[in-house]
Amino acid sequence: MADVRDRATARAAERGSETVPTLADQAAEACISKPEPVGTGFRPFERYHVELTHADEGKAHFVRDILRVGRTVGVIAVDPDRDEIVLIRQFRLTAHLRLGLGDLVEIPAGYVDHTETPDQAIRRECLEEIGIAPRAVREIYSFMPAPGLLDECATIYIAAVDASQAPARAGAAYEVEQTLPIRVRIDDALDALTRGTIHNGYLIMALQWIALNRTRLPDLLRE
């Protein structure tokens, strides 16, 4: 037991000696079982048995169920000439059941197919969901929407678009998808964020990013 305490104390001392601590996700010491199928449907649902070793050498054993979603992409579609952002409306069953607000406002987003790269996926999603080919596409950040349950990892891009090309309706017929493109002034979109009238996590994070980086948009969207 003394050895365990000594190692934990040494690691704490090492962390304390850092003049500028780095806040970052890091690898975990974990032993994971093979997946056990829990159910099948739109996405695979799997169960895992986990043995996790903590920093003080203690261990924890638990079971977790995960919905396998995979890689996704989203795009912040901005028209720099008109100071607009192109969003979509789309029905979401979970929002309908939980909030009674199933007609969500979102950024264009979707899954990365096995046969394509994220860059190819974002261009396809733009054409499918807002009917506009993106230009000056730049990757800006990645995140996991719900790591406690989903293995989904989303990569978000910003792209220049011509908002005047947005059709009245869009969506991929083969996905039984219907989207309504919306042209919105960036100031109005940020106002909706402030007023709390939107609930889609992708969109909220995208607008927060714009609020923090708006002065950089001309450089990022330069072709």
Q: What percent of the chain has pLDDT over 90?
A: 79
> Each residue of 13-42: pLDDT tens digit?
555 555 677 899 999 999 999 999 998 888
Summarize pLDDT for 56-80 with one digit per residue, the tens. 889 999 999 999 999 999 999 999 9
What local confidence, expressed as pLDDT, does residue 12 receive?
Answer: 52
Are 48 and 64 in contact, with CB atoms under 8 Å apart? yes
Q: Token pair for residue 152? A: 């989904």
Closest CA to 118 of 98, 82, 99, 142: 142
**Token output for 220:** 């990022």
pLDDT at res. 2 = 42
Q: Which of 3-17, 64-78, 175-189 has the lowest mean pLDDT?
A: 3-17
Distance between CA 221 and CA 140 in Å, rounded? Answer: 12
Domain boundaries, the chain: 26-68, 71-220
Instruction: Read off the DSSP letter of residue 42.
Output: S
Distance of alpha carbon 65 from alpha carbon 46, whole angstroms:
6
pLDDT digits (tens, 9 = 90+) for 143-156: 999 999 999 999 99
Where is pLDDT greater, at 211 or 2?
211
- Most confident segment among 14-23, 88-97, 164-173: 88-97
What does the alpha-carbon distance between residue 202 and residue 179 come to, in Å, rounded to a whole number? 16
CA 218 to the chain's CA centroid: 23
pLDDT-derived band at 5, boundaries 50, 70, 90: very low
The counts of H helices and E strands in the chain are 6, 11
CATH fold of the domain at 71-220: Nucleoside Triphosphate Pyrophosphohydrolase (3.90.79)
CA neighbor of 76 nearest in space, from 89, 87, 65:
87
Which pLDDT score is estimated for 207?
98
Confidence at residue 56, expressed as pLDDT on a 0 to 100 scale: 86
Query: Rounded to two decimals, what is the model's pTM?
Result: 0.85
**CA distance readout (Å), 175 to 110, 125, 128, 155, 159:** 11, 12, 10, 21, 24
Distance (Å, rounded) from C-alpha 62 to C-alpha 68? 19
Query: What is the pLDDT at residue 18?
Result: 55
pLDDT surpasses 50 at 137: yes
